[in-house]
A and B are shown apart, each in its own frame.
Chain A
């Protein structure tokens, strides 16, 4: 007869990947349904994690539920691997799982990101986990969650179209900035998280799996690989990405990637690539080190001297 000691797991300070098995299983079941219904916001329990709601707890719970010992993790915040949010999440997951971490998009199997999709093309098998503050594109337009759910069920996105139209009539252009609403698989319209419009086309027919999760709002959703993702745009006013023509990265000398604008004292600005993982590799390549730079979504302009 087995004793209680035989049945119990050995004593440990923390469970592997922090969340207990029951919490993980709940997130996992929701993720599987999310993949089956692209763009639909699946409710989930959203447990406590040692981080304040609104700081990436949704993304973190998905990462903790998906990750295994053999995964390689990259965490970025607005493209940066070295910001406080990214460093803390990466260190926390590494302590709780012992996985290898990286800043190189090509090496990562899991990429948790806040507000950016890396510049180097993601490939089949990679999983991108986006942190989402407001999962519902109706957030600022329809105060009732129940009513918003009905609008999604009816595929009635007139409010979103009206918002785009009002932008056009008042300001002459669509003012969504980040988080431009996208239609997924021709049915649900979803918030792609506050990625710049520059990143939105990267989701269309992408070879990788994208998981999006909002911890505070307790919703998660997904874009499977090779799925249609179309930004909402009028036929006579095409979707436009941010205008960054002529912006050259001050550290790597390339143009064409998404840039961070750094204001200079006394006016003017300098620009650096927002994707620091790529920037690091480009700078090392300039110094003559052997690095592998992957194919990028947008063609990087010719190198000018920085």
Chain B
């Protein structure tokens, strides 16, 4: 290969996608530890993950247009690869019951769910354990309804299940919650 005149420089989009991806990789490999992401995570994470090879579902009409501009197909909740729910409500909790959990032959063909939460504060405490956690870790998460944890425990039967990225828009943080993480509530919520 001839010597290059200059080293390739990432475009701003490439730089942002790479940084966001490393944040997601770190957050899913260390569940319970909030990881910083640059910019608005509802845009940044979507742009780092979505393209014409995958499908998505979202509750937000404005963001849906943005997500579609990546080429990703908008589909129903029971078919989507990536699900973006910017708000918690009753309908969303119902939708969580139908998400793809993969099959024994293809557990990776399962949904990845992006949900809002407040991280790093002094909200309800949980104890995380499992892969990525050194022993046990006390984690504070607010803004997530109790019912979510029940639904998650019901859906995640390793190796099947869905994986969650909790996004804190205000603080610019993301926390990974892969299907392998065991979560126990520490105090009455």
Contacts and interface: CB of A to CB of B under 8 A. Distances in A.
Interface residues of B, number: 45
Contacts of A50: 1
Given A33-B108, A50-B1, A224-B132, A185 B21 contact: no
A10 B14 CA distance: 13
B49 interface: yes
A12 B9 contact: yes
Contact of A188 (B22, B53, B159, B178): B159
Contacts of B105: 149-150, 153
A172 B112 CA distance: 48
Contacts of A209: 25, 29
B24 interface: yes
Nearest to A39: B159
Interface string B111-141: 0100000000000000000011111000000
A10 B6 CA distance: 13
Interface residues of A, number: 56
B7 A98 contact: yes
Interface string B142-170: 00000000000000001100010000000
Interface centre among A32, A67, A154 (most CB of B within 10 A): A32
Nearest to A154: B104
What are the nearest 5 A-B pairs in CB distance?
A98-B7, A16-B10, A36-B178, A153-B104, A227-B131
A50 B2 CA distance: 13
Interface stretch (A17-25, A252-260, A266-274, A277-285): A17-25
Interface centre among B110, B132, B163, B179, by most chain A C-beta atoms within 10 angstroms, is: B132
Given A9-B11, A32-B112, A37 B107 contact: yes
A66 interface: yes
Contacts of B5: 13
24 contacts: A9-B11, A13-B4, A17-B10, A17-B18, A18-B8, A22-B51, A29-B49, A29-B54, A31-B25, A32-B25, A34-B108, A40-B107, A40-B159, A66-B22, A66-B25, A68-B19, A92-B1, A95-B7, A96-B7, A97-B7, A125-B26, A207-B134, A225-B29, A226-B131
B17 interface: yes
B15 interface: yes
Contacts of A13: 4-6, 8
A225 B30 contact: yes
Which DSSP category, helix, strand, loop or mixed, fits chain B's interface? loop
Contacts of B22: 66, 68
Contact of A69 (B15, B21, B49, B158): B15
B108 A37 contact: yes
Interface in A98-153: 98, 124-125, 149-150, 153
Contacts of B8: 12-18, 96-98
Nearest to B47: A25
Contacts of B173: none
Contacts of A167: none
Contacts of B9: 12, 16, 98
Contacts of A95: 1, 4, 7
B13 interface: yes
Contacts of A188: 159
A49 B48 CA distance: 22
A26 B29 CA distance: 18
A36 B30 contact: no
B4 A26 contact: no
A67 B10 CA distance: 11
A30 B112 CA distance: 12
Among A15, A37, A154, max chain B CB count under 10 A is at A37
A53 interface: no
A38 B133 CA distance: 13
Given A22-B51, A32-B25, A227-B131, 18 more contacts: A16-B10, A17-B10, A18-B8, A25-B17, A29-B49, A37-B108, A37-B180, A50-B1, A65-B21, A66-B22, A67-B18, A95-B1, A98-B7, A125-B26, A154-B104, A185-B131, A224-B29, A224-B180
Contacts of B133: 226
A227 B29 CA distance: 10
A247 to B, nearest CB: 34
A47 interface: no
A187 interface: yes
